[in-house]
Structure 1
Amino acid sequence: MARTSQSLPAGRGRRWLSRLPIRQKLTLVILLAVLLTLHIGGLFVIYWDIAALRRAAQESALVLAQSMSQSFAKILMLDSTDAAVDTVTALQAFTEVRQAVLFDRQGKAVFQYQRPDSLELAPPASPQGEQIAFEQGDIRLFTRVQFQGLALGTLYLCLSTESLDQWVERQLQGFALLTPVLLLIAAGLAFLMQGIFSRPLLHLAALMDEMSEVGNLDLRASTDERNEFGQLYAGFNRLLDEIQTSQRALQEQKFALDQSAIVSATDVTGRIIYVNQRFCDVSHYSSDELIGAKHNIVKSDEHPPELFREMWRTIAAGRVWHGVLKNRNKLGGYYWVDTTIVPFLNDRGKPYQYLSVHFDMSAEKEAEQALLQARENLEARVIERTRELEASRDQLIHAEKMAALGSLVAGVAHEINTPVGISVTAASYLQEALRGLQQRYAEQQMTRRELESFLEMTEESCRILVSNLQRAAQQVRSFRQVASDQSQEARREFELCSYLQEVLLSLRPRLKKSGHAATLDCAAEITLDSYPGALSQVITNLITNSLEHAFTEGEHGHLQISAEQSGERLLIDYRDDGRGISEADLTRLYEPFFTTARGQGNTGLGMHIVHNLVTGPLGGHRVPEQSGQGGTLLPGDSARGPGRLKRIM
């Protein structure tokens, strides 16, 4: 409690000092500075003079001791009463000498003197070495007494400093009398300096008060001074210029923000304390209706409560929240806003105000909804169109198969036409010969030679008939099997080599007409349990694709099919030595309806059918090429130069 009571006056003193105007503080400071300066200077001068006087007194004592050293030497050497009397008479001439004691070499006092009008002084007990000092207001001196370099004893002198004390007293009295004069001079200087320093500051303070009350930023401080006050005025004017510039920039930014953004400010409880005109225009509420209300006034039922709880947790923690909200205006309509809420924090890091910036994105949301609707409609149309295209593709694939069958039938007709024609010719010739023989027999003119010739001709004709009819029958069986496989798509067990030969036999008319040669390299013992129709369609489409695209007019190319068994799988290798296909077209080779010769009536489904058949019913997949660049589901003409198609089925 005592410590508290002692600190209170100091606290009150500081508060009292802080309430003083600056001019009074300046006066007080100048007074204190002048007083301290003058007193310290005066005391320093007095101290300096006292030190000088003390040094002079010490020097006088030494001079006195030296001047009377011969008298004291006589006392020690002669032990004469006359010498002692003379010495006493001489000491009485020096009023400042209060006491004198002479010691011999054994330290025995042989002579003593004390001024009669001074107080009784006790002599020193024994002599000491040479020294001089101020003690109890006197100068006390010990010095040796010598004669011709021989030490005879020690002299003790006690000299009074009364004159020095009187001089110091007079100096202090004069200084005390000078202090009121110095105070008056300091007060005058203080009031003079107060006007010099406080007037510009008061003028500047008046300008600041006017600017604060009126808000007039056009005010400027003017002065002719070129000192620090002139710099202060110039700095004040620059500050006003910067404030004007910043205020103008803020107004321009606020104007730009108000044209595009919905701005509002709330306190920590969420009550609106500021809205811009854009907020009123969009919400159809007046500023009076919005100020003091909460944002619930424009809240819709679009968002769950968890969204707003998370928003309040975020901004209450001092973090910025961003989100998209759907609001409701006064007329019942809805509008979407892209919202950013920024918390303003105090010195303790706690929010004291929230600023909300909203951008109206109703048009974007409407466009988004329209886009979603259009996308849904487009997806529905795409699905419907895809079904139509799939149906069209199935029809085109069926037509492609029928075209292949038609080509097969044409080949059958062409291939069977030769043996059947030969058989018809042989049968007609045999029929004519038989009629001639019958006529010769009826006329009974037939000879043995004619009968034997007829029999030989009959045997040759029958051989020709049997040979060509067997050839035709074999071709019919092959064509029928291939056609049946392509039309029925049934799974069965078959010999690969013989079946591929039948497929090539069905394509021989086209190969013969094109001038290209086809070879087959296949082991006879390979038997498959698969779909021969799909395999026939693949080989037919590959060879057809090569004949149509791989070679130029008049060129004689070579097509090669090889088959090799690899465990439970079969590796079929098809190649031609045609001109190849470009890299750009290579990536699209198996797309449906893609063709490089659409103007020639091609549908672009041949290689697509090959891809679907190989990866579908035949169960094939791609294998790497021997070059390490990866296998391709391509015929030989699709690579640059002689290409390869590898498939495992």
Structure 2
Amino acid sequence: MPKNLYDTLLDVSKSSMIDAGDMQTAGLLILTAAIHGLGIQRAGIWLLTEDKQAICGKMLIDGDDCKLDSDLCLARSDFPNYFASLDSERAVVANHALTDPSTCEFRDTYSIPHGISSMLDAPIRHHGIMLGIICCEHQGEARVWTNEEIAFVSALADTYGRAVSAAQRNDYERKLQEINSQLEQKINERTEGLQRALENLHTAQAKLIESEKLASLGRLVSSLAHEINTPLGIAVTSSSHCASELKKVQQLYRNEQLNEEEFAQFLQGMDDGLQLINHNLTRAAGLVRDFKLSGAIHIADDQEVFDLRACIELSLKGLQPLLRKHQIHCELLPGSAQPFNGYPGAIAQIITNLITNSIHHAFAATDQKHITITLALEAEHIHLIYRDNGCGVPADIRDKIFEPFFTTARRTGGSGLGLSIVYNLVTQKLGGLIELAEDQSRGAVFIIKVPTAR
């Protein structure tokens, strides 16, 4: 390619006007380059209609005259030979426009009136599809278009295709900005609505958690009352027996009928009775103490550093009456103390709800009922593994068990809140996660992972 054509093409290709997205500016630049490079006076850009049945003038430079969006259109039905050449999607090279088969149809209506003797039309393509042509028209004596000139005009046509891409990109960006603006407005509106709903949900959630805490304490109180009744009943019975024996001995003493053997029997009976009273009162006092500590843990809402293992052990002590009532053996597997920065009340609530869930759902067909809890430290996270030997969680409900109000025990009084509260306490209060183990064939296994510090 001659240097003048190469330099002209390079200047056009490097121009920022091509990628600015302004088709008129880009078109004028390309047509001016074609006129300058080929030494002609007329050049235009013609675009095909969508049905490709006509081609219309988009831009025309004729000397000092420049026309934009010309109303001149050429129909396929009027110029079939020319459109047949366009259908080949190759450059139309007419050295003698008046006689060339592709362009002779323009002889009387277009070529002669404008003094056009030679034509060079290069196809404009965009994403491989032909959009139209750049038409270069030579006036005066006919000329033979060289291969370099054909390549030059074809390169300009490709550059126009690049400008089309830029214009489309700008149009897409504008539409995207409009869509984003509308979307942002909708998002803001919906965000406000969601925030209100979330606030209401948090309020309701807090009330549900408090309600469940009170329900858990109620169950503990009920179980404790039943458990305390036994040692207190024994102590009362023994006390009544001792009082009766004392009156009997007093009467014998007043009647001067008390002998040494009867007095020795009385002393032995009083000793046995007082030991029985003392043992059962001590047992009752221990139950009350454990309940007070467990109850204090349940209602504790302040974050603090505490021994997680000791907290769970104390929670299990408070739950012993409930576990004995249902004949469940529950143990925390041995291990060292585990410092934890969190909420003891949340831990107690989690343990209580998991055990309650096992009682309601796991052991209907199990004779020897066992629950084990394991603690392990892994990479600044504590893994709490809760396992029972019940029926396990059926596969068809595993993705629903943490949903609020979902329960399979509605008829027996299940609220569907126990595991939902566990999930919220673990994920929100403690910043961890809870999941079901894949294998549920030998009972339910819950894996809780929480960071040691927050």
TM-score band, normalised by the shorter chain? Answer: 0.5 to 0.7
Corresponding residue to 2:435 among 629, 633, 645: 633
Higher RCO (Cα < 8 Å, 6 or more apart): 2
Partner of 1:345: 134
Question: What are the within-5 Å matches in structure 2 for residues 235-274 of structure 1?
Answer: 269=66, 271-274=68-71
Count residues with an aligned counterpart.
318
AA aligned to 2:393 is I
Asked whether the 8 Å contact 1:561–1:575 carries over to 2, the reply is yes
* More off after superposition, 469-478 vs 451-460: 451-460
SS of match in other structure, 1:633 = strand
The 1:541–1:321 alpha-carbon spacing in structure 2 relative to 1, beyond 3 Å, is same
Structure 1 position 435 matched with structure 2 position 247: yes
Asked if the contact 2:59/2:68 (under 8 Å) is kept, the reply is yes
Task: Give 1 or 2: higher helix fraction.
Answer: 1
1:434-583 aligned at under 5 Å gives the runs 434-490=246-302, 491=304, 493-494=306-307, 496=309, 500-523=312-335, 526=337, 528=339, 530=341, 531-553=343-365, 555-563=367-375, 572-583=384-395
After TM superposition, give the deviation of residue 420 of structure 1 in Å: 1.1
Contact preservation (8 Å) 2:391, 2:442: yes
Q: Which amino acid aligns with 1:496?
A: R
Closer/same/farther in 2, CA of residues 532 and 392 from structure 1, 3 Å limit? closer
Runs of at least 5 residues in structure 2 that lack an aligned partner in the other structure: 1-48, 74-122, 137-152, 169-176
Contact 1:518/1:560 (<8 A) preserved: yes
Corresponding residue number in structure 1 for 2:76 = none
Alignment of 1:99-498 (within 5 A): 269=66, 271-274=68-71, 344-347=133-136, 348=153, 376-490=188-302, 491=304, 493-494=306-307, 496=309
Could you report, residue by residue, the CA deviation over 1:288-316 in whole angstroms, capped at 9, with x for unpaired residues? xxxxxxxxxxxxxxxxxxxxxxxxxxxxx
Q: Scaled by the length of structure 2, what TM-score is found?
A: 0.55
Relative to 1, partners in 2 of residues 1:386 and 1:593: Cα closer, same or farther, differing over 3 Å?
farther
| Residue 477 of structure 1, CA deviation | 0.9
How far apart are residue 413 of structure 1 and its match? 0.9
Quote the Cα distance in structure 2 between the aligned partners of 1:593 and 1:387. Answer: 19
Residue type matched to 1:345 in 2?
A: I
Instruction: Specify the code of the residue in structure 2 equivalent to 1:384.
Output: R
Which whole-Å CA distance do the structure 2 matches of 1:439 and 1:509 have between them? 43
Per-residue deviation, 1:406: 1.2
Query: Percent of aligned positions with the same letter in both sequences?
Result: 30
The 3 A distance-change label for structure 1 pair 275 and 467 is farther
TM-score, structure 1 normalization: 0.40
Q: Over aligned residues, Cα RMSD in angstroms?
A: 4.8
CA distance in 2, matches of 1:569, 1:387: 30
Q: Is the 8 A contact 1:495 1:527 kept in 2?
A: yes
CA displacement at 1:484 relative to structure 2: 0.2
Whole-angstrom CA distance in 1 between matches of 2:291 and 2:436: 27
Q: Partners in 2 of 1:571 and 1:369 — Cα distance?
A: 46
> What amino acid does structure 2 have at the position aligned with 1:423?
A
CA change 1:611–1:417 in 2 (3 A) is same
CA contact (8 A) 2:389 2:443 kept: yes
Structure 1: 5+ residue runs without aligned partners? 1-249, 256-262, 277-317, 323-341, 358-364, 622-631
Task: Provide Cα deviations, 1:194-226, integer angstroms capped at 9, x if missing partner.
Answer: xxxxxxxxxxxxxxxxxxxxxxxxxxxxxxxxx
User: For 1:572 and 1:392, how far apart are their aligned partners in 2?
Assistant: 28
Post-superposition offset of 1:589: 4.0
SS at match of 1:522: coil
How many angstroms apart in 2 are the aligned matches of 1:457 and 1:575?
A: 48
Task: Identify if the C-alpha distance between structure 1 residues 366 and 482 changes in structure 2 by more than 3 Å, giving closer, same or farther.
Answer: same
Change (3 A) 1:529 1:450: farther
Query: Which is further off, 418-427 or 449-458?
Result: 449-458
Return closer, same or farther for 1:575/1:467 CA change in 2, 3 Å cut-off.
Answer: same
8 Å contact kept, 1:546–1:635: no
Indicate conservation of the 8 Å contact 1:526/1:565, yes or no.
no
> Does structure 2 retain, via aligned residues, the 8 Å contact 1:488–1:533?
yes
